[in-house]
């Protein structure tokens, strides 16, 4: 399992061009769009996914029922990771604190998967902390 966090000024373009990585939330045609594609998941399936996430992370996360962007990001990323091995996701639409929370939760989720990779492109260079490690 691997999670990498980059910033918009980092060179992530080569990842978008790879056919084995699913692009999510980027302003390009081939990218899956969180806000429209998340709404296509049935409510019953969303509840199941939220429950699975809480079982994995070990606590009830109020962000999963917030009706805000963070809920969409957490659930949709988890949904895709169940089907795909590698994702690159752009965090546009999340607040700074939501991005940090998203990264923390996704680190735990990725630890429960084998052979999965998540590349997160932060839409701001607010901190100098750059994650790039094997789980």
Question: 74-90 pLDDT, tens per residue?
Answer: 999 999 999 999 999 99
DSSP-based three-state secondary structure for 100: helix
Question: 57-72 pLDDT, tens per residue?
Answer: 998 899 998 889 999 9
Q: What CA–CA distance (Å, rounded) separates 31 from 53?
A: 24
As given in the structure block, the two tokens for residue 25 are 């939330």
pTM metric for this prediction = 0.86
Bridge partner list, 117: 2, 86
User: From the centroid of its chain, how far is CA 55?
Assistant: 17
């Amino acid at each position: 399992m691997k999670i990498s966090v980059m910033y918009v000024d980092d060179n992530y373009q080569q990842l978008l061009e790879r056919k084995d990585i699913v692009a999510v939330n980027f302003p390009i045609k081939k990218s899956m769009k969180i806000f429209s594609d998340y709404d296509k998941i049935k409510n019953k399936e969303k509840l199941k996914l939220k429950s699975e996430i809480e079982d994995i992370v070990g606590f009830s996360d109020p962000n999963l029922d917030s009706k805000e962007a963070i809920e969409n990001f957490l659930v949709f990323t988890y949904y895709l990771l169940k089907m795909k091995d590698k994702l690159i996701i752009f965090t546009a639409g999340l607040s700074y604190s939501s991005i940090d929370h998203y990264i923390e939760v996704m680190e735990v989720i990725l630890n429960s998967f084998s052979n999965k990779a998540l590349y997160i492109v932060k839409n701001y260079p607010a901190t100098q902390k750059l994650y790039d490690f094997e789980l």
